[in-house]
Amino acid sequence: MRIGKNDVVEVIAGAHKGLKGKVLKVFPKQQRVIVEKVNLVKRHRKPRSQQDPGGIIEMEAPIHVSNVKLIEKGSRS
């Protein structure tokens, strides 16, 4: 895969077409990436402790690497 963590990509297909963001995490075996503020989903979480109250949490879901285009290479760390 040519896309890595901290690269800036643009979504070229799907419901989020045209959005740009930084790659937060890469899953090479599944050929998927998580892009910052793209493909947001809501998850219902149970409260686990006083510090983790639970509720409805919005988080990024992975999208297939073929649906993103590399815009700018970032530093690998």
> Residue 77: what pLDDT?
56
Predicted pLDDT at 70: 96
Cβ burial, residue 77 (10 Å; 0-12/13-18/19+): exposed
pLDDT for position 50: 87
pLDDT in tens, the chain (77 residues): 899 999 999 999 999 999 999 999 999 999 999 999 999 999 999 999 888 888 999 999 999 999 999 999 987 65
Q: How far apart are the C-alpha atoms of 33 and 5, rounded to whole Å?
A: 9
CATH of domain 8-72: 2.30.30.30
